[in-house]
Amino acid sequence: MRWIYAFDAADGLGRDLLGGKGFALAEMTRLGLPVPPGFTVTTEACRAYLAGQGLPEGLWAEIEAAVARLETQTQKRFGGTEGPPLLLSVRSGAPVSMPGMMDTILNLGLTLDGVAALARATGNPRFAWDSYRRFIQMYGEVALGVDAAHFDRLIEAKKAQAGVERDIDLAPEDLEELAYAFKERIREEGKTFPEDPWEQLKGAVEAVFKSWNNPRAKTYRRLYQIPDDLGTAVNVQAMVFGNLGEDSGTGVGFTRNPSTGEKGLYGEYLRNAQGEDVVAGIRTPEPLERLRIYAPDVYAELEKVAAILERHFGDMQDFEFTVERGRLYLLQTRSGKRTPEAAVRIAVEMAEEGLIAKEEAVDRVDANTLPQLLQARVDYARAPKPHLKGLPASPGAAVGHAVLTAEAAEAWSREGKPVILVRPETTPEDVGGMHAAKGILTARGGMTSHAAVVARGMGVPAVVGASGLVLDVEAGTFRLGDLELKEGDPITIDGTTGAVYAGAVPLVQGQGSQHLDRLLSWAEPFRKLGVRANADTPEDARKARELGAEGIGLVRTEHMFFAEDRLPWVRRLILARTPEEEAQALERLAAFQKTDFKGLLEAMDGLPVTVRLLDPPLHEFLPDRVALERKEAAGALEPHEAELLERVRVLEEANPMLGFRGIRLLLVRPEILKMQLTALLEATRELKAEGRDPRPEVMLPLVSGPEEVRAARALIDPLLEAYGLDVPIGTMIETPRAALLAGEIAREVEFFSFGTNDLTQLTYGISRDDAGAFAPAYLEARWWAFDPTAELDAAGVAELLRIAIERGRAANPALKLGICGEHGGEARSVRLAAELGLDYVSASPYRVLTARLAAAQAARRRERPVSV
C-alpha cells in the first residue's frame, strides 16, 4: 500500500484519495502554476490511523523519503542550522470542502537554533521570531490541545506592555519573549513542546488525522450531511513566507465575487503576514484591488492565474496565495463558497460565456437555497441612520436578539427566539451557533474571514469587520459606537450594505433576480413534475402564482377560522345549545368561508385549488384551559368564560393529534362538512357566472380506511349534484393504514395527496413539536442521518408512499398523486417524489422556486440516488 504522493506525481488521482486540497495542489502543479513543492498523505492513511492502528506500516519511511526529496528540491535542510532551514506547513484536506473545520500548522521544523539561522539568512530577526512564536502557538493548540485563549491573552498582554495595538507592531524582542512565554504556558498545561523537527512532524500529522473527529468538524459534517467515514488527507508543503516585510504578504482571492457573483478578481490581501491571518479574521485586510497599486506585476499575474483556474476547474475558484519578496506562490484552490444570489448568477453567466453548458448550470445550483434569494432586505425608506457600518459579507437582512456566544445562540434558538450572533471574530468552534443564528456580526475580520465564508455558505446574512463594535462577553454587554447594549437586546444587521442598527428595523421581502428567471427558463423544459403551493389567503396564492405555482395543493381551511372576526363564531358553533344557535353560527361561518374561497379561486383562476376540509380538533379554537382555571381560582372568571371552561374540559384530549379531528370530526359533525362544501360550491358557482374558470378540489383529512371515504361521499355527492358541479374529491394519505389500504380507497376518489408531515410522525411514532428533546442527540450520534421532519425518509415513509402509489393506481389508473407536506419544498424530497412517479408536489409559496428547480434537476440526473 502506498500512503504518499508528491504533488508532481499524482496525475490521475482523485479527491477521494488526495482530499480536495491535495488534488488541487497536484492539478495546479500539473498546470505549471507557481506551487511550493510538497506531498500528500492520503485519506486511506487517515482511515487506517483512526481505525486504531496508529501510523500505518510504511508511512513514516515514506514521509522521511518525501522530506528528503523536498530538501533536494529546495536546497534547504529540514532542521538545518547552516543557512535557512526547510520549514513545512502541515494542512488538512478532506475530500469535501470543510473550510476552517480542521487544523493547520505552519513553520514546522523551526527550533531555537533554527531561529538564529533564519534570522542570519534573511537579515530579519523580527521575521524569525514571529515565525517561531506562530509555530509554537499553532502546534500548542493543534497538536498539544492547549486552549487558544491562553495564547491570545499572552499576546494581548504583550501588546499592552509594549504600547501597541497590532501584532505587526511588536518588536523582535517582544516576539522572542512571547515565544518563551508560550512554551512556559504549554509546560504549565503539563505538555512538552518538542525541539526535534521529526518529532514535530510526527505530532502534526497525527494531529491533523485526529482533527477529522474534532467537535467542529463533526458538527459541520452533520449540518451538511457529509459522511463520517471519508477521513482527511494531510498536505505537507515547503513554507513560503508572507511575513518577510512590506514586499511580502498573504491573501485570498476569488475569480468572481462570492457575494454577488460579479465576474472579476475579488479578494483581500495582508502585507507582511502569514496565510492564517486572513481567514482567521485576526486582522482586517485590504481589498485585493490595492495590490494593483503597490505590486502591479503580482496583480497582473493573479489575474492570469484566476482565468487559468476558472477555465480548468469549470467553476468559480477560491484560492489562497502568498507573496514572498515580490514572488507569487499558490497554496490552495477550491470551488468557492458563495451566496445563493451569487451561485445563480455565476452558473448563468458561466453558461452564457460558454464555460459550461446550460444543463450544467441548471444542475449546479442548490435548489434548497433559492428561497434565500427572496430574503428580507432593510426597508430603507423607513430605516433610521445605522449606528455602525462594517463589511457586507453575506447579503440579506436579519432582526434578532443579540447573543455573544455560540452556545447562547443555540440555546436561545432552541426556545424559538431569533438571534444575531455577535462576536469579536468567529472561529470554527462557533459553527453550531452560526447555523442557529439569523445573522452574524463580528468586530474583526474581512470579506474572506471565517465568518464571511461560512455565513455565505449557509446563506445567513453577515456583517464583519465592524470596527466600532466593542464586546465585553463576560459582562454580557457590547457597544455599537457610543451606544451600549446588553445581551438579549434586539438589533438589525444588513449584510447587503454592512449597516448595523440598534433595535428592530422594518424589513421588506426580496424579489429574486433576472439571473434566476433565466436559470428557471432553462430548467422548465426538463421538468415533468408539477409544482403547486400550500396557500390559505389570496395574497399567498397570488405570490405563489407569481413564483410559478401551477395551482394550490393545500388550502388549510382552519387557518381562516382563527381570524379575529371569525373565532367568536367558531366558538358559538362549539358552544351551541340549540339547533337554532348552531344554524346561526354555521350560516355566518359559511359566509366567511365563501368569501375566502372566492378570493383563492379568483387568484388561481384556471388552476386547481385543493381545499382540505377542517382538520384540527375543536378544542384548538377555544382558550387555554390552564389560563381559564387560573382565573377561576382567582375568582375572576366571567360567566361566558365559565361556559368556555366547561366546554374545554369536555373537548380536551390526552393525545389530540390522534383524536377527534379530521374525517372523524367531519363525519360525527356532518354539519361542518356541509357548511364548508356549500360555501365552496357557492363561490365556484358565482365565479362561473362572472365568466371565470374556478377549479376547486375537495380533500378529506386523516382518512384511515375506505369506509370513512364512502360515508363522506354520501354527504358530498348529493350537494355536488344539487349544484350541478363536477368537483374532484380526494383524500390525504397521512396514516400508515390509509397507505396500506390505498387500493380500496382509490376506488372512491379522484386523487391522493400524501400528507407527509403526519405520515412521518405516525410512521416514526414521533411528534414534531416534541422531537426537539431528542432530535439533536439523534443527529449528533448519526442515529438519524437527517431530520425526517425536514427531508422525506426514503427507507421507511417513502416505502409506504410506494405501496400506496402501486395499489392506488392498480385500482384506479386515472388517480392523480401529489405531496402536500412541507417535504414538497425540500430538494431531495422533491427528487424522491419524481422518482416515485408522483404527478405534483405542493410547497409553501416561497419554496415553490426550490420545487421547480429540484424537479428539473430530478428529470436530468440523480445527484443523490435513493433506494425505496
Annotated binding residues for substrate, as ranges?
556, 612, 734, 755-758
CB-CB contact of 705 with 737 (8 Å)? yes
DSSP state of 50: I
CB-CB contact of 447 with 289 (8 Å)? no
Alpha helices in 56-171 (DSSP H): 59-74, 112-122, 125-142, 148-162
User: Beta strands of 579-634 (E only): which ranges?
Assistant: 608-612
Measured between alpha carbons, how far is residue 437 from residues 244, 356, 400, 460, 641 in Å? 39, 35, 8, 8, 41
Measured between alpha carbons, how far is residue 126 from residues 87, 108, 129, 692, 854 in Å? 17, 17, 5, 81, 55
The secondary element (H helix, E strand) that includes residue 331 is strand 327-335
The CA distance from 137 to 183, in Å, is 9
Q: What are the cell numbers at 794?
A: 426514503
The CA distance from 513 to 523, in Å, is 15
SS3 annotation, 462-480: EEECCCCEEEECCCCEEEE
The CA distance from 113 to 459, in Å, is 48
Q: Strand, coil or helix: what is 397? A: strand
The CA distance from 193 to 202, in Å, is 13
Alpha helices in 322-430 (DSSP H): 340-352, 358-364, 406-414
The CA distance from 614 to 680, in Å, is 13
Q: Is 823 a catalytic residue?
A: no
Q: What are the cell numbers at 634?
A: 382567582
The CA distance from 396 to 383, in Å, is 15
Q: Which residues contact 393 (CB under 8 A, 6 or more apart)?
A: 259, 440, 447, 449, 451, 452, 455, 456, 462, 463, 464, 495, 498
* Residue list for the binding site: 556, 612, 734, 755-758
* Residue list for the binding site for Mg(2+): 734, 758
Q: What are the cell numbers at 669?
A: 359533525
Q: Strand, coil or helix: what is 57? A: coil
Measured between alpha carbons, how far is residue 285 from residues 267, 290, 589 in Å? 9, 10, 63
Measured between alpha carbons, how far is residue 247 from residues 242, 328, 736 in Å? 8, 11, 70
Measured between alpha carbons, how far is residue 772 from residues 65, 414, 438, 734, 801 in Å? 52, 8, 19, 22, 26
Q: Is 450 a catalytic residue?
A: yes
User: Exactly one of 46, 435, 515, 820 is catalytic; which is it?
Assistant: 820
User: Exactly one of 401, 435, 450, 823 is catalytic; which is it?
Assistant: 450
CB-CB contact of 412 with 380 (8 Å)? no
Which residue numbers are catalytic?
450, 820
